[in-house]
Amino acid sequence: MFETLTALPPDSILGLSAAFKKDPNPHKIDLGVGVYKDEQGNTPILECVASAQHLLLASETSKVYITPQGNQGFIDGMLRLLLGENSFVLNHNRVAAVQAPGGCGALRILAELLIRIDENTTVWVSDPTWANHMPLLGDAGLTLKTYPYFDKDNASIKFDEMMDCLSKVGPNDVVLLHGCCHNPTGADLSKEQWQDVAALAAKVGFLPFVDTAYQGFGDGIEEDTYGLRLLIDSVDEVIVAASCSKNFGLYRERVGLAAIICKDEKTRDIAQSQIQSVARGIYSMPPSYGGALVDIILNDKALYTTWTNEVNAMRVRMATLRQMLVTNLQQQNVDKDFSFINAQKGMFSFLCIPPQQVQQLRDEHSIYFVDSSRVNIAGINHNNVGTLAKAIAQTL
């Protein structure tokens, strides 16, 4: 049977990681895989997570299945984090939600739910978008189309083109929006632009699908919810996929949230039964450990304060790394103006250079990032930024 299968090319990012590991160059630089790294190039366990682990170990008395929807303390804490302590939709019981195995699991659960509603559903994603959006949504059977988003030549958002495209989508179409820290470009909508998008959603009737994986890495934990909360205030229905991989550092624990904001409580109850049924059909019961840790952190005042301080420190450090890279590139007297990097937010930035130059940096300087020119800003440090800037200058 299996002889009928054909080999597939390696995943672009995972293949890049494998190539980096094999490279013998002691000065190689990894800017590919999207994980936070400290000054020493490590991805540490956050202090709040380490403390939560001790508390969980001391209090956990069983390894029996948790409930099908997941850890309720995790769900409640995440919804307050995303929607606000005094959220109108939460107070009126309009939100259905389940704990998911990572942000990827949340995306897939919501995709499968959309297929149940209408197998011909079209989802519009930004051009470009995170590469894994395509298989996570498309393999569920959804039709994917793209709307203009980023102009590489000018390193800016094509907002007028984006709005023109979205004004013509169908009233039952779904539009995927990045809640903050757009992956892969780092180019985020302004508050005014979010207001225009929300008004358009209300006018056209499309369903906003917000993917938020980097809350706290853009402008702040509270500030990064602006677009999501505005959409919820503007339209009756919104769906949300959230990840705890980046801002809690729980990459390997795979914990996320799939949430549906409904127009009323009755619809919410139906949606809750359906979303739990989707999850049951995919993996039966959710894993407990990561959700239990986030539950402890979000519902313990001291640990919550520690977590917010750690997220703020990561955000500030990445902003500093952006400034450091731009300064070093300017010192190399490159012809290209890279100051746009300082305006981008979060973990990623587009260098806006062509694939052949990305390949040249890899072949001649052992600097690894994806062909789109997306770099993981957190992979930069004081020891490698000079090497990186010099290599980019020589390649250009």
pLDDT per residue over 186-207, tens digit each? 999 999 999 999 999 999 999 9
Does some domain include residue 53? yes
Quick one: pLDDT at residue 15? 79
Does some domain include residue 41? no
Nearest to 248 by CA among 289, 287, 220, 215: 215
Given a cut of 80, whether residue 99 has pLDDT beyond it is yes
Does some domain include residue 304? no
What is the model's pTM?
0.95
- Residue 26 sits in the same domain as residue 117: no
Q: What is the DSSP letter of 184?
A: T
Given a cut of 80, whether residue 13 has pLDDT beyond it is no
Quick one: pLDDT at residue 14? 74
Mark which of 243, 274, 299 sits at the end of a domain. Answer: 299
Quick one: pLDDT at residue 351? 93
Task: Decide: residue 58, CB within 10 A, 0-12 exposed, 13-18 middle, 19+ buried.
Answer: exposed
Which CATH number is 273's domain given? 3.40.640.10
Does some domain include residue 82? yes
Number of domains the chain contains: 2
- Residue 23 sits in the same domain as residue 56: no
- Residue 80 sits in the same domain as residue 142: yes
| pLDDT class of 24 with cuts at 50, 70, 90 | very high
- Residue 278 sits in the same domain as residue 356: no
Quick one: pLDDT at residue 112? 97
Given a cut of 90, whether residue 155 has pLDDT beyond it is yes
Quick one: pLDDT at residue 19? 87
Average pLDDT of the chain is 95
| pLDDT class of 137 with cuts at 50, 70, 90 | very high
Does some domain include residue 20? yes
- Residue 129 sits in the same domain as residue 158: yes
- CA angle centred on 311, ends 75 and 52, rounded to 5°: 55
Does some domain include residue 362? yes
Given a cut of 90, whether residue 16 has pLDDT beyond it is no
What is residue 193's three-state secondary structure?
helix
Provide the domain limits for residue 330.
Answer: 11-34+316-395
Partner residues linked to 98 by β-bridges: 258
Mark which of 246, 267, 299 sits at the end of a domain. Answer: 299
Does some domain include residue 255? yes
- Residue 280 sits in the same domain as residue 355: no
- Residue 276 sits in the same domain as residue 200: yes
Residue 157: Cβ within 10 Å count: 20
Quick one: pLDDT at residue 138? 96
- Residue 215 sits in the same domain as residue 81: yes
Which CATH number is 356's domain given? 3.90.1150.10
Quick one: pLDDT at residue 33? 86
- Residue 73 sits in the same domain as residue 105: yes
Residue % of the chain over a pLDDT of 90: 94
How many whole angstroms separate alpha carbon 208 and alpha carbon 324?
36
Quick one: pLDDT at residue 193? 98
| pLDDT class of 17 with cuts at 50, 70, 90 | confident
Q: What residues are annotated to the active site? A: 130, 211, 246
Given a cut of 90, whether residue 11 has pLDDT beyond it is no
Residue 125: Cβ within 10 Å count: 23
Which is higher by pLDDT, 34 or 149? 149
| Each residue's pLDDT tens digit, 210-263 | 999 999 999 999 999 999 999 999 999 999 999 999 999 999 999 999 999 999
| Each residue's pLDDT tens digit, 40-87 | 999 999 999 999 999 999 999 999 999 989 999 999 999 999 999 999
In Å, what is the CA distance from 271 to each residue of 117, 172, 194, 317?
11, 17, 27, 40
Write out the two tokens for 386. Answer: 């000079």
- Residue 375 sits in the same domain as residue 294: no
- Residue 286 sits in the same domain as residue 235: yes
How many whole angstroms separate alpha carbon 174 and alpha carbon 134?
14
Mark which of 255, 272, 299 sits at the end of a domain. Answer: 299
- Residue 173 sits in the same domain as residue 71: yes
Task: Decide: residue 304, CB within 10 A, 0-12 exposed, 13-18 middle, 19+ buried.
Answer: middle
Does some domain include residue 6? no
Quick one: pLDDT at residue 8? 85
